Amino acid sequence: MTIKCKVCQKDNPQILEINRNLKPQLLELFSSLTDGFSKVVRDIGRISDFQNGHRQRLIRHLHIKSSNFEKLQTFCKEEIKKKNQYKQDFFRLSIEYKRKCEETSELKAKINKMKSSTLELGDVTHDPFRTPVSGKARDQRSFLTSTPFKHPHRYAEDVTETTISATNQTDSTISFAACGIPVVSTDPGGEVSFFSTFK
């Protein structure tokens, strides 16, 4: 039996039952307008939710970036402030260092001056009461002398002169005593005695 299409009059057309088992492309053509509208609304809502999710994630990311930037900005300000403080401290310390160097130079000059003055005071060439310690001794008499050392020959001459003087003194004493002239004698103890001798 031949079946013809009532619209196009074609023989043996393909016949499909309209139900939910149709392909999605065909089912959309035979769905009602309310169902199509609801589906469009759902698709729009799903797309909107998806975009909103991405937008929220992007906003959070930008917020984190902004917060980090603010922290970085605050950190940079503090570092700049510290750097300026370091500069001021360095400038102040450099001034103090220069002042200390000047004071040190002045103290060194004073010490050198004191050393030169000490050397001048300690110079034996300008002191007649000190014996030279080092260097060439000049022809200068010193009052700090040791026990005198006499040459044996000179020592013998001195002893002879002393003996002669003592003998002459004894002879003179005897002569004065013989003439009746009092003679003064000094004992080793320091006592003074007078005596006279008459022949």
Q: Report CA-CA distances (Å) from 175 to 1, 10, 169.
A: 213, 206, 10
Please state whether the predicted TM-score (pTM) of the whole model is above 0.85.
no
Per residue in 72-110, pLDDT (tens digit) is 999 999 999 999 999 999 999 999 999 999 999 999 999
Per residue in 148-195, pLDDT (tens digit) is 544 454 545 554 555 545 455 555 554 445 555 555 555 555 454 444
With CA atoms as reference, report the closest residue to 150 among 141, 159, 162: 159
Q: Are 56 and 64 in contact (CB under 8 A)?
A: no
Buried b (16+ CB within 10 A) or exposed e, 83-94: eeeeeeeeeeee
